Structure 1
Amino acid sequence: MQRCAWCSDDPLYIDYHDHEWGVPTRDPQVLFEFLLLEAFQAGLSWITVLKKRERYREVLFGFDPQCLARMTDAEIDERLQDPGIIRNRRKLEAARNNARAWLQLEDPVGFIWSFVGGRPLVNQYASREQVPAVTAEAETMSRALKKAGFSFVGPTICYAYMQACGLVMDHTLDCHRHAQLVDASATSGPSMQVH
């Protein structure tokens, strides 16, 4: 089965590629979780974050923004001792900060989806080399998130976030998921904008 070139043979990576990456989601909990996970990934490989994802769910209150927003400095210090996560104070403080910023948004889902006009952008890339690291939409999202008080939301992180949550669909044309996601959208999901 043909997959995107970035997907290794790690079963965790394959499962993520085949079932989550590029699938449009409007679930606020999933959108929030991925926003934090992408921030934790900054400077590291995505597989590193995937392998720690379950532990993050355990120590970060299931990515509940209400609970995370109330996390104390002492609780952050405690988590910095946990080898099951990426022990970076700035990223943990950003998770708390981003939870607070998320809760200030009147309509977080609508806000996130506004950067693609409410419908997934479907790209037609033949190879991994054609897929950009940043787009104008990601730059706009980054500026808006920063203005709203978020941190660790640079344009590269925002574009990876858009890919992960299906705001953009960057499975390459040779990947089996490209056709599956386009077909699924045509029959039941939100209409996609083909680029």
Structure 2
Amino acid sequence: MIHRLWFRLSVIFAVIILVTVGTIYLFVSQRTGAEIERYQEKTAEYRVPQVRGSLYVHYWSQNRSWEDVQPVVTQTARLSGTRIILVATNGTVIGDSKEQLLGVVNYTNSSVTPLPLTDEQELLGEVYIIPDLAAEPYVTFRELSASTSYFLLIGGSLAIAIALLLIFFLSRRITSPIGALVKAARRLGRGDLSQRVQLRGEGE
């Protein structure tokens, strides 16, 4: 009987601890993922003016042509964590941060909406801004998310281990006096009236 009671108390406490830690882990993981995603969206909002400013304001407005624009495209892509493809008005690729599509004629990309570059209503070209998942910002985000989940998992495991130890000692402390009373009652039932049960602590 005592062993069954001890087992039931242990199971109840263990379930409570597991549910609590699991709930906290899921909540923190979801919040962390949501914050990282929100930060990525905010960062993406600043990419368009950043790319436009780099290509148009800092290059076209000074040179009045796209000649030798490739180094600027590469640097802008590296800073923004994207792949940038610059297409001239005739559809020819004149800048590619990965240098794979240079010279391609009539380039289009149906998965990305091109950003038109204009100068007083005159179309100067189009730029495709494609997220580069291998770029440093995205790698940093993934590493941050993975490390956060890892530390949450380790912390949760330690909390569960400590809680199980506490459950073991507390349940033994609760059931030990009951066990002593049961043994004394059995001996009294057999006619041994000399039994005394010494209980320590308050409230027994």
Which TM class, normalised by the smaller chain length?
A: under 0.3
Structure number with the bigger relative contact order (C-alpha 8 A, sep ≥ 6) is: 1
Structure with more of its chain in strand, by fraction:
2
Q: Which has the larger radius of gyration?
A: 2
